[in-house]
Amino acid sequence: MSSKISEQAAKQKIDEIKPKLKQWSKEYYVQDQPSVEDDVYDSTYQQLVDLEKLYPNLVTSDSPTQNVGGRVLPQFSKVNHNIPLLSLGDVFSKQELDDFTVRVEKNYPAVKQFNCELKIDGLSISLRYENGTFVEGSTRGNGQIGEDITRNLKTIPSIPQQLSRPVTIEVRGECYMPKESFANLNAERERNGENVFANPRNAAAGSLRQLDSRITASRHLSTFMYNVADYDDLKTNTQSGLLAELSDLGFRINPSYRVADNLDQINSYIDEYQEKRDHLEYGIDGIVVKVNELSLQKEIGATVKVPKWAIAYKFPPEEEETKVLDIEWTVGRTGVVTPTAVMEPVKLAGTVVSRASLHNPDYLAEKGIRIGDTVKLHKAGDIIPEISQFITDKRPSNSKPYQIPTTCPSCGAKLVHLDDEVALRCINPACPAQLTEQMTHFASRNAMDITGLGPRIVQQLFDHHLVNDVAGLYQLQFDDLLNLDKFGEKSAANLLNSINNSRSNSMERLLFGLGIRHVGAKAARLISEHFKTVDALMAADLEAIAAINSMGTVIADSVTTYFSSEPAQNLINQLKSVGVNMEYTRSDESGEDNSFFNQKRIVLTGKLEQMTRPAATAWLQDHGANVTSSVSKNTDLVIAGQDAGSKLTKANDLDIPVWDEQRFISEING
């Protein structure tokens, strides 16, 4: 920033910037729902830093530059950090990074090496152990005081409850949500009419701040630990050695760290992982460079906010410009109506993108997107295409505000807002779009597993008026199917055979297939195990269902509300009349306890050729396995498909048994 700006103008600008940054910080750290992209916050924050450098007398104690960031939420107990848990200073160019390393080496000639680490897109946490036992976990909060989230952290498999040595230590690191979990969570929230998370960091933070630990457990979080509050009791004297020692103690550390002797090696590391970031299973937004010698870290010290021995190089935002051609609205099986931007195709982060969800009417209004707008497009969490903003000076002169529809695009029924939802819903039970989505879900592999009944065939069944609901599937005749496009005698026989076989499925598959809101495959299985029959479940009250382990009132309310409706009761009666099984038929004594997989912690990685990952997961869970998303020393088996990456590498490093897909299929068949 130019030094020509007057002190009065600088003060005016500072007074304008500070409220924005405080609001954005609250949205990011407290509400876990940021309204601006990281690069917007970063550039505005840098303006404040530059102004305060020009006029230090304008720095106030309430300035965002003087605070670490987060706040302690009132519903959590406070934890005092005896040694402050600081944030990192940021740089946004390799020249700024060069300036940092030159400054450190000039002021501290003993510095010879730096340790390079990936900057994980997650939430900072601190774990305290006494004599090797995990006793307390907390968030960073404001750096001095954090939130006690011990119960929630205990649900994360990568956090050891007991260390390999009886040490008393406070370990710090990052809790994150893997990309796959992030995408699945947002898809589920969108289906349920809830706000989606902006990025994996906010998803992880929202998951850790749950008052119900069961919700945290369901979010499939993981961790990388990278620091300790006090180094005195450690055997190592370097940052790289510290990571190795943390791994020996039982913590999950990111294995991609590298010691660099000079700036060229640091830049090479940056270039390598900027190229690799799209292929990692977790999100990163930069590289952290630290003085490697621990004693020199102490000597160099810290400011009130950041350590002076480390810096974070932030990747430039990976954005492309494109034009919005249309906004389409689609109806899901629960009636949620979702807007999607249809755009001119553009290559982004290695793939061609032409569509991006606009999630819900509130989101669309907040972004102010119109048809014909030129927009900036990026990938949230390096995976989900998302519009960050429209470009004002490229908006057509004849542009008009987009009008949110008031009627269902499928059936024409009036759309409604239900209480506490951001979504629009079509509540017409005969809506064709919902019926086709519901039937596709009913036939899916984790539900009734009707092979060959995909979305295209389901649509044809409705178009030919052969079915009105899922019960109609069991009344289809051979000649009916021959009228469908590309259906011959063999394909018709195969589909009828698959439909007939599904009649005998155990109750949990039917319960999941009904598509009851909030009832996933695992919840359906637990409910079915408890009640044994659909009739017993329909007779149960909310309290009885909520009392089941892992249920709670949200799921219980959905189940009781569903079965209290006349259409649902009629559907169950129709399914009974066509011979669909209504009982839980998986016997606890049927040999499951003798299964090789029972009670095993198993990780799936890579692309499976003979079955889908969800199908493999469901089969393993049906045979008593605990399928997890990350490899640790507690993992019993890794099943690796094609193009398996870091999980396979870590499994080999930890000497964990690895099966290929053929070995797994052989075990299934056996």
φ/ψ (deg, to 5) at 641: -95, -155
Place of tokens 């990747």: 315
Helices (H), 483-564: 489-502, 507-513, 521-531, 534-539, 542-546, 553-563
Nearest to 164 by CA among 235, 246, 233: 246
Per-residue tokens: 379: 């990938």
Question: Which of the residues 18, 20, 78, 119 is marked catalytic?
Answer: 119
Distances (CA, A) of 175 to 5, 130, 254, 572: 42, 21, 12, 43
C-alpha 405/C-alpha 245 separation (Å) is 58
- Closest CA relative to residue 408, chosen from 373, 435, 368: 435
Q: Classify burial at 657, counting beta carbons within 10 Å of its beta carbon; exposed 0-12, middle 13-18, buried 19 or more.
A: exposed
Tokens in use for 393? 């000076």
Q: Is 119 considered catalytic here?
A: yes
Residue 533 CA to residue 508 CA, distance in Å, equals: 10
What's the CA angle centered on 149, arms 146 and 151, to 5 degrees?
Answer: 160
How far is Cα 576 from Cα 589, in angstroms, rounded to an integer?
26
Residue with tokens 């529809």: 405
Q: How many CA atoms lie within 13 A of 214 on its CB side?
A: 11
How much is the CA Rg of the chain, to the nearest whole Å? 28
Q: Cβ distance 546 to 500 under 8 Å?
A: no
Q: Which residues have a catalytic role annotated? A: 119
